[in-house]
Amino acid sequence: MELKVYAEEKVDRARKVLRTLSSIPTEVKNRTLLTAAELLDKKRDHIKEQNKKDVEYAVAQGLSPALIDRLVLNDKRIDGMIKVLKDVASLPDPVGEITRMWTLPNGLRVGRMRVPLGVIFIVYEARPNVTVEAASLCIKSSNAVILRGGKEAINSNRALVELLREASVKEGFPEEAIQFIDRPEREIVWEILKMEGKVDVAIPRGGESLIRAVAENAKVPVIKHYKGVCNIYVDEEADLEKAYHIVYNAKVQRPSVCNAVENLIIHRNILNSFLPKMAYILGRAGVELRCDEESLKVIKSHPKLDFVKAVPATEEDYYEEFLDLILAIKVVGSLDEAIEFIEKYGSKHSDAIITENYTKAMKFLAEVDSAAVYVNASTRFTDGNEFGLGAEMGISTDKIHARGPMALEELTIQKFVILGNGQLRDNFRIPDEILAEWNT
């Protein structure tokens, strides 16, 4: 019962300020973000001290290297959070924007206006920079946010929330709009996910198990992506020099994130000219290759590739989000076969084609049903900041109002606004005799 009361108090505090938030001037929101950036720079040593506690706890618990990598806050990542705050402050405020207006024959003017979603509950693991990204977007979009990070990052997250609330108080932004769950019990999460009518949307950000748990326990709407099984197809008309660098970037730069490539699809006609050098490059980076029969044969028969770890792929490998230096390889005979492979094994996150053929590129863009579809570029760009959106709440692979990186606009929803001058449906009026009776 105590946990339920705790959860209700957090949600009620956030909901109480919604009406105030909807009319907060843009300049107040921007000042809050810029002040938070200044405080983050000023207090970076304190933030790193708190983060060190979390990292030491994660290591002691034997958590995975990929999770620990996401947990660490060094100067580079603190600089990144400062940049996020400044970038979001520089973006246009979407709240109140009229996106379209038209006039009906009866004189009614009908329009669509962007308004905040309301109370947003974000559940996330490891990455404390999500605290700043989520809060900054919610501040700018006039939403109230309830932040629930993993227990492995609780000291880092608490320090960041205190800083954000300090900036809010200083600049006149309602500090109650930033709520933080500073207790580790999971039951609190389940209680908040049941609060229909009080929580407007939940956004889980983390591993597949977390996202499924949130989706399965929620009674409130959930915006999600279960995993990032991203694919790159190297077409027979690809510029191979581009392809080497794109695949290397997408797999090796940061393999522990959801927009890293997991499946490499190669057209059979370029298999012998492309794969040996690609396998050599990936092997030198420590990438394990899980190959179909054709690609494995090419690698095993090449004299320069005896050091490359290449093993037969299983059916399950092509569905797997490795989040590691592991890449599955599939050989196909056509663009259609590549698209069919992506449809079967991909997760509708981010997929790319490398080709110099315009017609094939356009077919790939039209027929691959994913949140982000690329031509001749790394899938690693699927990120709100990289897309020029300032930051993101996460990646949505759902087919709702938000798909792909969820940034400012995706944290608003459009409502109809109608301006009239006494118009009546079907001119259905008070009968004259009733009015006459009143007047006598």
> Where are the strands (E) in 38-169, listed by range?
98-103, 109-116, 119-124, 144-148
351 token code pair? 């997929």
Q: Quick one: what percent of the chain has pLDDT higher than 70? A: 100
Mean pLDDT confidence for 367-392: 92
Name 12's Cβ contacts closer than 8 Å, sequence gap at least 6.
Answer: 198
pLDDT category, 140, cuts 50, 70, 90? Answer: very high
Name residue 433's amino acid.
E
Residue 413 DSSP SS3: strand
HSE of 83, CA atoms in CB hemisphere, 13 A: 13
- Measured distance CA(190)–CA(198) in Å, rounded: 14
Other beta carbons within 10 Å of 26: 14
Q: What is the pLDDT of residue 1?
A: 60
- Measured distance CA(291)–CA(312) in Å, rounded: 5
Buried b or exposed e, range 204-231, using 16+ CB within 10 angstroms: bbbbbebbebbeeebebebbbbbbbbbb
Tens-place pLDDT, residues 415-438: 999 999 999 999 999 999 999 999
Q: 137 — phi, psi (to 5°)?
A: -65, -40
- The reply to whether the predicted model has a pTM over 0.75 is yes
CA-based R_g, the chain, Å: 26
- Measured distance CA(230)–CA(347) in Å, rounded: 7
What kind of architecture, by CATH, is found in domain 2-223+406-419?
3-Layer(aba) Sandwich (3.40)
- Measured distance CA(404)–CA(383) in Å, rounded: 8
Tens-place pLDDT, residues 116-130: 999 999 999 888 999
- Measured distance CA(324)–CA(231) in Å, rounded: 15
Mean pLDDT across the chain: 95
- Measured distance CA(129)–CA(110) in Å, rounded: 40
- Measured distance CA(116)–CA(14) in Å, rounded: 13
Residue ranges per structural domain of the chain = 2-223+406-419, 230-381
247 token code pair? 């695949």
Buried b or exposed e, range 317-330, using 16+ CB within 10 angstroms: bbbbbbbbbbbbbb
DSSP code, position 409: G
Which fold would CATH assign to domain 230-381? Aldehyde Dehydrogenase; Chain A, domain 2 (3.40.309)
Q: Contact 390/408 with Cβ under 8 angstroms?
A: yes
Mean pLDDT confidence for 177-186: 95
267 token code pair? 């057209």
Tens-place pLDDT, residues 330-371: 999 999 999 999 999 999 999 999 999 999 999 999 999 999
Q: Contact 345/319 with Cβ under 8 angstroms?
A: yes
